[in-house]
Structure 1
Amino acid sequence: MSTLNHLGLALLSAALLTACNTQAQNEPLSGNASASQVTIEGVPGGVTTQVEEISAVVSAIDPAKRSFTLEDAQGHRRSFTAGPEMINFPQLKVGDKVNATVAVEQVVYLREPGAASEDGAAGLVATAPAGSKPGLLVADTIEVTAVVKAIDSKRHTATLEFADGTRKTVQVRPDVQLKDEYLNSQVVIRLSSALAIRVEPQ
């Protein structure tokens, strides 16, 4: 369900933008990414985890605009405007190393019949203590449920209906046998994302 991965990354991007507003005309910073997937053969759903680590150096600071520019090892540059929650902006110096870790986990499973269903979200934002180097931890979890409304065994797809009435047809893994008993079952999609930013002095 790659669409859900994009949703997770969108949630993560929204969390990042809470801390720093990105200027337009910038290059993406490069990083090291890894992904893993855990499934049980024949059982619908599974767990997918994606982690990206980015390291860059502060190459410019504009105190009047509360903006700073990061540059990675490949020379890509990206500018940010520090939001009000970045209370330690004055401690940021040119040459400081910034390490960011982004993790997104997607859990998908069929809910047991009769189990309570609750769509919802939770979040956390933590900043470094006043006077120390800037740092940030943002974590978000969102849970969405959908109902299996149709199964197409020829195309090996299932059509899910969400609480707002929208429908989405998704590809089902080849090892999962599509059964009529899955019709009207609830599918739970839980996306958890976390962003940690640490600044090391030059």
Structure 2
Amino acid sequence: MTDWTRVARAALLAGALACGGDGGSTTAATADTAMTTATTSAATSEATAATAEAASDASSETAAIGEGVCVRACAEPRDCCPPDVVECPGEYPHAWSCEQGLCVAGGCTNDEQCAALSTVPGVGCHAIEGVGVCFTPCAGDGDCAVIPGSTCSGLADDGVGFCRTGCESDADCEGAGRCELASGSCRCADDVDCTAREGLVCALAP
């Protein structure tokens, strides 16, 4: 797969996953690994409704949303890491790489990596479109009740279900793009759509 595809899939997983993990969400590391591609740390995102509105205002309501995803620009892998994590880049969930100037998060490769990050029973490593992600599988929407707005509508490569939360408005994207209602994914057309954190750019398919 192309480098851009890897970037896009990693970033979009943040909007797709919301099942399992401590406190009823995917493990913090899972959310971070996916969304930090766009925000460096999704779990600690400082984006507010105001910044989301600013992103929406920056593009007219009639403008095309685009097929890009907001990712962090980099010159080296260390640029992709949270500043206080000295072991980054390193092993999952800090397996970052800088490819063609964009941060790419390496996925998990085994269940043990997930168990080390979460005490939730059943958490494991499952590939979603080729990217390893830690989550607890769901069998029905009832398993997703602890995550507002999520349903057991995701399907991993191995056939297990996962809780998925899609966006319904630009505000739901919190500055990491604009909401594509048809897919429930946050997308961007230009860097102006990526205001969640300094250093984000809109990665478009070549």
User: Does TM-score exceed 0.5, indicating one fold?
Assistant: no
More strand by share: 1
* Higher normalized contact order (CA 8 Å, seq sep 6+, divided by chain length): 2
Give 1 or 2 for the bigger CA radius of gyration.
Answer: 1
Structure showing the higher helix proportion among its residues: 2
TM-score (norm 1): 0.22
**So what's the TM-score if we normalise by structure 2?**
0.22
